[in-house]
Structure 1
């Protein structure tokens, strides 16, 4: 089998099975494990998958600049946002991560809602301007350009001093083995800090995030309180996590 044909087979199998195991594939295709590992390295360098010990997992397509992500699944994001709105109650302190799904949520907030929203995303803070009864607390720090959010020690320290009711957490992947993941190590650390600062963590997951993974782990799946997604409950989602399909 030619190299390109073998790589195409690997990607097809990854889409079908949700993971690749190098040893099993080497036996099936009658090539060495080194050959399979080399193919996986090449595909990972092309951004087609994520290598893990012993094989590979699907790479989340949402690990991309904001301008690219804005065009992904706009209708799904709007549906998820509508499903999430009833979880916010008047008087609560709410941490809201950056991301295009949360921007869709802000656009649908009730005009008279009175609460406090804490965010390290300047775009989220600016989008809250039309809501006079929402107190806005903007967390500062160096801006991570990929996501256009503040990061670093200053942001982490600020979140450490907050006790919130809810945290709407942005992730780029949810997967049974790797858990909640994102594409930048500093962002992963800050997101973990945000979760610890809230009584409940809610994840809004568009279809391309379910079963996908990104390079940096935030926390295990059961660290989320609620996952709002589309379709039936994934069988790998922990029982303690409330799943609300859109």
Structure 2
């Protein structure tokens, strides 16, 4: 079998089954595991999958710049955001991190809400300042990660470690029942981990295509989530492994 054919087979298995087990593929093709592992390394380098122990998992799709994502799938993101609002109460300290769905959460918070919002997302701060006179805004400092339009680094990390928040609305990179919560950036993983530790409740807001995927840097285990909010279109069999971990799963409509 040619290298291209072998790798196409691996990608087909990944698409159909949601994972690749190197030992099983090597047996199916009659090829050594070393060869399959080499194929997985090359495919991972191309961004086609994420290598894990014993095989590979899907990676989340690449969406492009934050500015572009601000214009994409707005109705879908707004639906998820609206489903998050019932968790919020007057007097809460809320934490919203990077990403465009959390901007939608900020825009959909009630205009008469009395609360404090802590964020490392400048677009969240701008959205709140414009229409929410009773919300106090704490904008975390640091270097801006342009892909997520979020501040990262020591300043943000140390500030979060001094806080206790009621709800953290987690912008998701990847979620997977066995891998957990992961992201593409090491510094972002450190900060998200600290944000989870600071929160009484952690609610993940995720597009369907980020479910059952993995990224290079682990943030934490799914057991740290209180709830997952995703879209109505996600099949129940996809969500069952998350519900089996005693996580509340909400299909926004």
TM-score (norm 2): 0.92
Quick one: distance in 1 between partners of 2:114 and 2:135? 5
Q: Give, in angstroms, the shift of residue 145 of structure 1.
A: 2.6
User: What does residue range 54-69 of structure 1 map to in structure 2 within 5 Å?
Assistant: 54-62=54-62, 64-69=64-69
Gaps of at least 5 residues in structure 1 are none
Q: Give, in angstroms, the shift of residue 49 of structure 1.
A: 0.3
**Residue of structure 2 equivalent to 1:151:** 152
Q: Assess if the C-alpha contact under 8 Å between 1:96 and 1:169 holds in 2.
A: yes
1:152-192, Cα deviation, whole Å (9 max, x unpaired): 12111101111111101112111011101111111101101
In structure 2, relative to structure 1, the CA distance for the partners of 1:29 and 1:211 (3 Å cut) is same
**Residue of structure 2 equivalent to 1:245:** 251
Number of matched residues?
Answer: 246
In structure 2, relative to structure 1, the CA distance for the partners of 1:3 and 1:71 (3 Å cut) is farther
**Residue of structure 2 equivalent to 1:108:** 108
In structure 2, relative to structure 1, the CA distance for the partners of 1:108 and 1:173 (3 Å cut) is same
Instruction: Please give the secondary structure, in 2, of the residue aligned with 1:235.
Output: helix
Gaps of at least 5 residues in structure 2 are none
Quick one: distance in 2 between partners of 1:37 and 1:145? 33
Quick one: distance in 2 between partners of 1:62 and 1:239? 28
User: What does residue range 136-147 of structure 1 map to in structure 2 within 5 Å?
Assistant: 136-147=137-148
Q: Give, in angstroms, the shift of residue 72 of structure 1.
A: 4.9
1:69-94, Cα deviation, whole Å (9 max, x unpaired): 43554332111111111111111100
* Aligned-CA RMSD value: 1.6
**Residue of structure 2 equivalent to 1:179:** 180
In structure 2, relative to structure 1, the CA distance for the partners of 1:180 and 1:85 (3 Å cut) is same
**Residue of structure 2 equivalent to 1:166:** 167
User: What does residue range 225-244 of structure 1 map to in structure 2 within 5 Å?
Assistant: 225-230=226-231, 231=234, 232=236, 234-237=239-242, 238-244=244-250
**Residue of structure 2 equivalent to 1:132:** 133
Instruction: Please give the secondary structure, in 2, of the residue aligned with 1:243.
Output: strand
**Residue of structure 2 equivalent to 1:96:** 96
Quick one: distance in 2 between partners of 1:36 and 1:73? 37
Q: Assess if the C-alpha contact under 8 Å between 1:122 and 1:149 holds in 2.
A: yes
1:216-245, Cα deviation, whole Å (9 max, x unpaired): 111100100111112326122143211111
Instruction: Please give the secondary structure, in 1, of the residue aligned with 2:168.
Output: strand
Q: Give, in angstroms, the shift of residue 133 of structure 1.
A: 1.1
Q: Assess if the C-alpha contact under 8 Å between 1:73 and 1:206 holds in 2.
A: no
Instruction: Please give the secondary structure, in 2, of the residue aligned with 1:234.
Output: helix
Q: Assess if the C-alpha contact under 8 Å between 1:178 and 1:213 holds in 2.
A: yes
TM-score (norm 1): 0.94
**Residue of structure 2 equivalent to 1:15:** 15
Q: Give, in angstroms, the shift of residue 148 of structure 1.
A: 2.0
Q: Assess if the C-alpha contact under 8 Å between 1:62 and 1:172 holds in 2.
A: no
Instruction: Please give the secondary structure, in 1, of the residue aligned with 2:111.
Output: coil
Q: Give, in angstroms, the shift of residue 63 of structure 1.
A: 7.0
**Residue of structure 1 equivalent to 2:49:** 49
